[in-house]
Amino acid sequence: MVRDDLNRDNEYALSANHDEAHGVELRKMIWKVTGLLTLITVVEVLTGAFVKQYIDGTPNSIWPVIKWSFIVLTLIKAAYIVLKFMHLGDETKSFKYVLLTPYFIFMAYLIFILLTEAYHVNSILYP
């Protein structure tokens, strides 16, 4: 028996709520997200490659700003991925807060522990 609902010309024929125009919009959104994430990653990599932590044995004064920019850019990338690919951007504001508040508290805690321990290790190694 041949199925009459299959149409080889339309790749969205089996989905009742997707048409070709919607597919074009989805692909455009995916390329936009990919471009933005790639741009942020390139900025991070180039910054890490060209800004050194130590210059002639002395600490670089801009290095703390670079560390915090890495943390902020990584959190922006993670949030954008969650909003776009996990469709959290389409949810209500209260549901977003319920999901994201524990995440941000946990991330702030991890960053605090990371920086506190790094400070203590640095103070022991370089008194």
Handedness of CA 120, 122, 124, 127 (dihedral sign): negative
Q: Which of 105, 54, 104, 98 is nearest to 79 (CA)?
A: 104
Lowest-pLDDT range, 15-19, 34-38, 62-66?
15-19
* 58 falls within a domain: yes
* 113 falls within a domain: no
Tell me which residue range forms the domain holding 34: 20-90
Please state, rounded to an integer, the average pLDDT across all residues of the chain: 83
* Domain total in the chain: 1
4 band by pLDDT with thresholds 50, 70 and 90: low
* 43 falls within a domain: yes
* 126 falls within a domain: no
* 57 falls within a domain: yes
Q: Which of 36, 12, 16 is nearest to 24 (CA)?
A: 12
Continuous segment of H or E residues that includes residue 59? strand 58-59
* 76 falls within a domain: yes
For residue 83, give both structure tokens: 């909003």
Q: Which of 7, 8, 10, 33 is nearest to 21 (CA)?
A: 10
pLDDT number for residue 5: 55
pLDDT number for residue 19: 72
17 band by pLDDT with thresholds 50, 70 and 90: low
| Mean pLDDT, residues 68-87 | 86
86 band by pLDDT with thresholds 50, 70 and 90: confident
* 75 falls within a domain: yes
Whether the Cβ atoms of residue 77 and residue 40 lie closer than 8 Å to each other = yes
From CA 105, how far away is CA 81, in angstroms rounded? Answer: 19
| Mean pLDDT, residues 88-117 | 88
| Mean pLDDT, residues 108-114 | 92
* 2 falls within a domain: no
Phi-psi region of 3 (alpha: psi -120 to 50; beta: other; left: phi over 0): beta
